[in-house]
Amino acid sequence: MGGRAVARCWLLVASGRGAKDYARAQLLLSLLSGTVELGALAWFFFSGASYWLGLRLPHVWTYFLVFGAGFEAVSLVFAWLGRAIEIRFEMNRQSLASWAVDQLKGLALTAGLGLGAVELIYWLMRTSPNHWWLWSWGGFAVFFVLMAQIGPVLLLPLFFKMRRMGDDEPMCQRLFATYAKLRATNPRLPRLHGIFEWKLGEKSAKANAALTGLGGTRRVIISDTLLESSPVEEIEAVFIHELGHHVHHDIWRGLGFQTAVSFVEFWVAAWVLGAVCPRTGMPVSGVASLPLLILVFSLLYLGLLPANNGFVRAMERRADDYSFQTLGTAEPLLAGLQRLAEKNLAEVAPPRWKEFLLYSHPSIATRIRRGRAWEEANART
């Protein structure tokens, strides 16, 4: 992945207008950025540059800030290319100043959370050399739950305006009436703490909706771009799809799956660092091993991506089915999905290998095919 890949990416950006060109440009950029970033991590560690830097900056926080600044500089180049793709395909509505502010916010958040995580891991390496990975895994499991709970109220509003929809708004009244009916038939259905308008349209032409939060922060968020462009029946169908995640406790399922995957990742990372670091003359607990630790986690993430995506696709299928069954028809959700595909320039029918490896949601074609099959099966009963 070198100059030819960059040229190919820019050719797609310059000439493409449709969903397939948009998908190709995004995929090529992902491959290019992944190759460069993983290659940079491997070179920095195995060339001895990390060892050299670790000798001069032995404290975790100083090393992390210098190393992180260099790595973020590389990532920023690809973030800029990603913005160029979004602009060329008319998906981006964000000014350069707003984009720069978001990048600074993300950098500050990454620096703060990342430094805390790295300090904890290397402290555990020094105090519990044989079990640091197990304690680290436990700490990250708690962190996942905490982020799921505070994300909607602290993190998401850092980047997007959120507005709680009022009880006097017809759309909110309709959606909450639907929720009340479902809760009347299922008293164990967890409480929903609000429906929020997600001001996505200030930055993007895309539309989306999601279930977020835990406990008192559990809410459904619906983008303004979806509310403005879709008939009420389609919005209701999408809302019920999100309630399907609520009914099936999918946030907790996802957290459980993530916790199990992270257990494997920490275990493998401990084994790799224990096998590789002594051969390079550096201790596992030395901060110079950080690039190798990040490289291992990154490679494991890529290797486990098909399993992770398959798990999420199964949850999405259940949520689709919940919408079909609740409304007694698949048509409103299918129409809504087609509208979302048009607004988001989604690749409706990607190759099967691509959907299997890279898609966290079933493709639009797959979801429509399942909806049609559901309609036919229920027409015969």
- Spatial distance between the Cα atoms of 288 and 265, rounded to a whole number of angstroms: 20
Digitized pLDDT (tens) for each residue of the chain, 381 residues in all: 444 444 344 444 444 468 999 999 999 999 999 999 999 999 999 999 999 999 999 899 999 999 999 999 999 999 999 999 999 999 999 999 999 999 999 999 999 999 999 999 999 999 999 999 999 999 999 999 999 999 999 999 999 999 999 888 899 999 999 999 888 887 777 788 899 999 999 999 999 999 999 888 999 999 999 999 899 999 999 999 999 998 899 999 999 999 999 999 999 999 999 999 999 888 999 999 999 999 999 999 999 999 999 999 999 999 999 999 999 999 999 999 999 999 999 999 999 999 999 999 999 999 999 999 999 988 766
Number of Cβ within a 10 Å radius of residue 158? 11
CB atoms within 10 A of CB 90: 11
For residue 257, give the nearest of 212, 308, 296, 305 by alpha carbon: 308
Can you read off the two tokens belonging to residue 234? 């389609």
- pTM value is 0.89
* 177 CB burial (10 A radius; 0-12, 13-18, 19+): exposed
Q: Give the tokens for residue 151.
A: 């994300």
| Closest listed residue to residue 217, CA positions, set 145, 287, 271 | 145
